[in-house]
Chain A
Amino acid sequence: ETGVTQTPRHLVMGMTNKKSLKCEQHLGHNAMYWYKQSAKKPLELMFVYNFKEQTENNSVPSRFSPECPNSSHLFLHLHTLQPEDSALYLCASSLPGLQPQHFGDGTRLSIL
């Protein structure tokens, strides 16, 4: 039990589909993050939310659309993805300041 739960764990979709990834944390954290993890590459930060406000968009294409309705939930809406978007998408949360991020186990996304 990581404290950060991501669903679904696996997702296969076509390039024209629309799907959403969900992340939920009950650790009392106020910051939430989306990362992309591709093979043999460092973790890539995509989005950061602090107290439900987006504070970072790391030049992510508009086919990825985040949503943070409250400090416990984070979504990543996917639309018209490309094959190179196939990766592990990780959600994390943290307290403010010099504190570690806690990660979920990710959603393994495959684009056909």
Chain B
Amino acid sequence: GESVGLHLPTLSVQEGDNSIINCAYSNSASDYFIWYKQESGKGPQFIIDIRSNMDKRQGQRVTVLLNKTVKHLSLQIAATQPGDSAVYFCAEKGTSYDKVIFGPGTSLSVIP
């Protein structure tokens, strides 16, 4: 069946360090991948996305890497700040299906 999962449910990093959040997916038909950030009391907020014809995409302090060979997705946050503390979700979508499939989420805690 289809599934999107995260390797680590919780992650603690020191302020200023880089964070890496990983995600595994199982549907080879997925064409599009999205990372969301959800802070306490708020809805998921779009961070960055990547299409399957790319391996890497960079935003402001964030980079998403896609390895289609092993069906792995990662989110890298540079110089992690206390405001980055949140739950991070990866999600996948395919052109052959309309649903977005969400992973269970990783909780990131930044230690000041």
Contacts and interface: CB of A to CB of B under 8 A. Distances in A.
A61 interface: no
B45 A98 contact: no
A105 B100 contact: no
B103 A42 contact: yes
B41 A105 contact: yes
Contacts of A45: 99-100
B99 A104 contact: no
B46 A56 contact: no
B42 interface: yes
Interface residues of B, number: 23
B105 A42 contact: yes
Contact of B42 (A56, A97, A105): A105
B66 interface: no
A56 B32 contact: no
Contact of B44 (A48, A56, A90, A97): A90
Interface in A96-112: 97-98, 100-106
Interface string B4-47: 10000000000000000000000000011010100001111110
Nearest to B32: A98
Contacts of B46: 100-102
Interface string A1-30: 010101000000000000000000000000
B69 interface: no
Q: Which of B42, B51, B99, B100 has the most CB of A within 10 A?
A: B100
19 contacts: A2-B43, A2-B45, A4-B43, A6-B43, A41-B104, A42-B103, A42-B104, A43-B44, A43-B102, A45-B99, A55-B98, A56-B98, A90-B43, A90-B44, A100-B46, A103-B36, A103-B43, A103-B45, A104-B43
Given A42-B89, A105-B41, 8 more contacts: A42-B104, A42-B105, A56-B98, A90-B44, A98-B95, A101-B34, A101-B100, A104-B43
| 4 pairs of A and B residues whose beta carbons are closest in the complex | A103-B43, A98-B32, A43-B102, A100-B46
